[in-house]
Amino acid sequence: MATELDYSFPAMGSDIRLLIGQPLAPRMPAALEAADREKAFVLDFAQRLSRFRPDSDLSALNASPARQVPAGDLLRLAVRAGLWAARRSEGLVDPTLLDALRRVGYDHSLQDEIPASLAEAMASAPARWPAHPHPEAAWRRVRIDDERGLIERPPGLAIDTGGTGKGLCADMVARHLALYSRYAVDCGGDIAVGGVGAQLDPYMVEVEHPLTGAPIGSIAVTQGGVATSGLNVRIWRRADGSFAHHLLDPSTGEPVWSGLVGATALGATALEAETLSKMALLMGPEGARRVLAERGGVIIHDDGGAEVVGIVQGSVNLLAPAGL
């Protein structure tokens, strides 16, 4: 196989990794030049859509008292991706839970903080129960007007694009790299893969166990998206001693304890894979099997056991790793 560029940098509170093959058309930039270009794109994407930066486009939208707020192309696209995920998940992946996230303690970036122990959190977690959509479905009242460049929502309704942002970003970078022989774009675990070379030599995407951090196998991906959602990534102890994490039950605004601690999903795009992985984790084992059956995936149960759902190319160890 021809030499492939392996290029990494930090952004969006995660590690971003680009694998880029050879250009397929004349006068296209070399892989390194393309990677530098995409790094600049990702950093700009992250800055403009960060809810932790008061000068970001997203913060300006949420701070505005107006019902209709001017919004640039990227912000409208990001909000549209969040609304798509809400429709696809029937309200489980809800972009209007920002106030609830702040209430449970996710009111600042956790990038430099060491996560709390997931094992300790699971030992003291409440009874397991699948998440449910919020009956009011506030996200249905968000409108995007591309003709006038506006986003309309009830004043005071805060929007969070973080739940779908990494998948959207991976897909956008992947489109920029479409004329390279092969490419993989990993935005903090939301991965977009493509190129004719990947059809012949698939990328092997490692599946990490959320309780141990150890790999339990790899999934072969030739095209499309793969994403993982886990309770271990952003989990913290609250002032009252209880544990919280960033995946909320829309019906209660509280962290969900569904019987699963992780889910990996395949999808046509990274955005779809990200949405499916979150749906699976929020719905618990029974719902996850339904959600992942068509495209395939892996779920990790509370007891550490792994389960492959649907058809997955590759090798995944179904036994709990040593030490659990």
Q: Are 170 and 192 in contact (CB under 8 A)?
A: yes
Could you count the other beta carbons within 10 Å of the beta carbon of residue 2? Answer: 8
- The CA-to-CA distance between both ends of the chain, in Å, stands at 39
E strands present in the chain: 5-11, 14-20, 68-70, 143-145, 150-152, 183-187, 190-194, 203-208, 215-221, 224-230, 235-237, 243-245, 248-249, 254-255, 260-267, 297-301, 306-309, 314-316
Chain mean pLDDT for the chain:
93
Please choose, from the candidates 299, 233, 295, 234, the residue with its C-alpha nearest in 3D space to the C-alpha of residue 269.
Answer: 295
Max mean pLDDT range (84-88, 159-163, 235-239): 84-88
Mean pLDDT of 297-317: 86
Q: Which residue has the tokens 């990702």?
A: 42
Question: Collapsing DSSP states into helix, strand and coil, what is residue 198?
Answer: helix
Taking the CA atoms of 308, 313, 317 and 320 in sequence, report the sign of the dihedral they define: negative
- Residue 2: which pLDDT band, with cuts at 50, 70 and 90? low
228: Cβ contacts below 8 Å, ≥ 6 apart: 189, 207, 208, 262, 263, 264, 265, 277
List the CATH code of the domain at 5-316: 3.10.520.10
Query: pLDDT value at position 314?
Result: 66
What integer pLDDT is reported at residue 268 of this predicted model? 96
Rounded Cα–Cα distance for residues 229 and 86 (Å): 16
Residue type at position 116: A
pLDDT digits (tens, 9 = 90+) for 170-195: 999 999 999 999 999 999 999 999 99
**Alpha-carbon span 306 to 317, nearest angstrom:** 7
Going by C-alpha positions, the residue among 232, 219, 322 that lies closest to residue 281 is 232
Condensed to tens digits (0 to 9), the pLDDT of residues 104-144 reads 998 888 877 888 899 999 998 888 999 999 999 999 999 99
